């Protein structure tokens, strides 16, 4: 069984990722399972750079295969903000509620047709020596509505509407999100690469 550490303590992300992992071949843990894990400084200029930092530094420290993930929301009317600062948009003591409140405040008066946005997700897999071996990314387009709807998901999900459904991720629930989300799209690109890598490692 291939032991893979997800480079986050966010169990909600872990649940989404575990749901599509080939569980017959991969056993996934999170940083919450590793007391000696380090706090990686996310000082990259992009989701890709931050995902790579999370995987390479943590992998080298733990001596384990680590999957780094960085994701967030970019709003066109805000020139791509909150972007890489999505989790801490409202400051060091940020919460989902505070972040959503600030986003609504920044978009006050902006008409619905100009509230287009997209979620981004980057994945980076590093080997125990800290070398990046695989990378993938996914994007999901939608728009930010004026009020929260739904209780599923986390982050900006209650305000991120998929126009084709006229529902937010908060309303659509995990089964639909698993098919449509930025993380799901990135994982669909990543999993075939991972299976190929596992085959190569097994043949060594």
Q: What is the largest CA-CA distance in the chain?
A: 60
29: which 2 tokens? 């843990």
pLDDT exceeds 90 at position 194: yes
Model-level pTM greater than 0.85?
yes
Binding site residue list for Mg(2+): 70
Q: What is the pLDDT of residues 165-177, one digit of tens each?
A: 999 999 998 888 8
**What is the C-alpha separation between 64 and 170, in angstroms, rounded?**
34
Instruction: Confirm if 187 and 138 have CB atoms less than 8 A apart.
Output: yes
Binding site residue list for substrate: 8-13, 71, 154-157, 177, 182-183
**What is the C-alpha separation between 147 and 139, in angstroms, rounded?**
23
Q: What is the pLDDT of residues 20-33, one digit of tens each?
A: 888 889 998 999 99
**What is the C-alpha separation between 10 and 26, in angstroms, rounded?**
19
Given this model, what pLDDT does residue 188 score? 93
Catalytic-labelled residue, pool 33, 43, 70, 92 = 70
Binding site residue list: 8-13, 70-71, 154-157, 177, 182-183
| Three-class secondary structure of residue 133 per DSSP | strand
Is 3.90.420.10 the CATH number for 2-203? no
Q: Clarify whether 70 is annotated catalytic.
A: yes
**What is the C-alpha separation between 9 and 145, in angstroms, rounded?**
29
Q: Where are the beta strands (DSSP E) in the chain?
A: 2-6, 26-30, 66-75, 116-126, 132-144, 160-162, 167-168
Tell me the pLDDT of the chain averaged across its residues: 93
57: which 2 tokens? 């530094």
**What is the C-alpha separation between 111 and 183, in angstroms, rounded?**
28
Q: Are strands 2-6 and 66-75 parallel, antiparallel or unpaired?
A: parallel
Q: What is the pLDDT of residues 106-132, one digit of tens each?
A: 999 999 999 999 999 999 999 999 999
């Amino acid at each position: 069984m291939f032991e893979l550490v997800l480079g986050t303590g966010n169990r909600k992300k872990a649940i989404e990722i575990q749901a599509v992992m080939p569980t017959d071949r991969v056993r996934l843990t999170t940083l919450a399972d590793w007391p000696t894990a380090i706090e990686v400084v996310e000082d990259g200029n992009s989701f890709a750079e931050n995902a790579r930092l999370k995987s390479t530094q943590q992998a080298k420290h733990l001596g384990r295969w680590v999957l780094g993930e960085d994701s967030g929301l970019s709003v066109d009317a805000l020139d791509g903000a909150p972007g890489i600062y999505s989790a801490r948009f409202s400051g060091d003591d940020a919460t989902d509620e505070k972040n959503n409140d600030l986003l609504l405040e920044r978009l006050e008066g902006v008409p619905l047709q100009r509230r287009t946005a997209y979620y981004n997700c980057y994945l980076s897999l590093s080997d125990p020596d800290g070398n990046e071996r695989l990378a993938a990314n996914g994007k999901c387009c939608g728009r930010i509505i004026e009020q929260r709807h739904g209780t599923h998901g986390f982050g900006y999900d209650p305000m991120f509407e998929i126009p084709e459904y006229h529902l937010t991720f908060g309303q659509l629930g995990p089964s639909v999100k698993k098919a449509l989300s930025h993380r799901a799209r990135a994982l669909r690109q990543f999993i075939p690469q991972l299976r190929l890598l596992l085959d190569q490692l097994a043949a060594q």
